Amino acid sequence: MIQFHTENITFPAIDQAKLSRWIKLVATSYGKKVGNLNYIFCNDERILEVNNEFLQHDYYTDIITFDYSSGKIISGDIFIGIDTVRSNADELDVSFDEELHRVIIHGVLHLCGQDDTTDESQAEMTRKENKALKILAEMYRAGEL
């Protein structure tokens, strides 16, 4: 079950059912099934609190993924800092929606086993994000979403 929540912000304009189908499709492409997956959209102050409390990091970020997966079932809590997503979109000159979708699937890729701790693994993560974003675009074009 995929659920979307907010803390301290207005809910972003997303179609939860459609994004859930996409997330499940991407997970399946990595041989995984979706268990309990919670997206928590929050402001920068909240994500900084989470980063400090659980990771002992004192900086803002766009995403923090807590992995509760077991075997082929991916589960977790994914905190998304909407303020940082918005500023990253501006900096990268992409739409807010595109950057939000990239971050949403970034968390799923972590749960599927992809890390981004080295330059090489970061490049691989970006490649996989782009592949997932193409799947999303194809789903929209085909009217599946």
Contact between 42 and 83 (Cβ < 8 Å): no
Domains of the chain: total: 1
pLDDT of 94 above 60: yes
CA distance 1 to 44: 26
Give this prediction's pTM. 0.93
**Range from 59-63, 78-82, 116-120, 141-145 carrying the lowest mean pLDDT:** 141-145
CA distance 133 to 55: 28
Contact between 144 and 21 (Cβ < 8 Å): yes
CATH number of the domain residue 42 falls in: 3.40.390.30
What proportion of the chain, given as a percentage, has pLDDT over 90? 83
Q: 66 has which bridge partners?
A: 77
Nearest to 14 by CA among 107, 98, 139: 98
Angle at 103 between CA 1 and CA 75, to 5 degrees: 30
pLDDT band at 145 (very low <50, low <70, confident <90, very high): low
Range of the domain at 30: 2-141
Q: What is the pLDDT of residue 57?
A: 87
Q: What is the pLDDT of residue 144?
A: 62
Q: What is the pLDDT of residue 55?
A: 84
What proportion of the chain, given as a percentage, has pLDDT over 70? 99
Average the pLDDT over 88-101 and give the result: 96
Average the pLDDT over 18-26 and give the result: 96
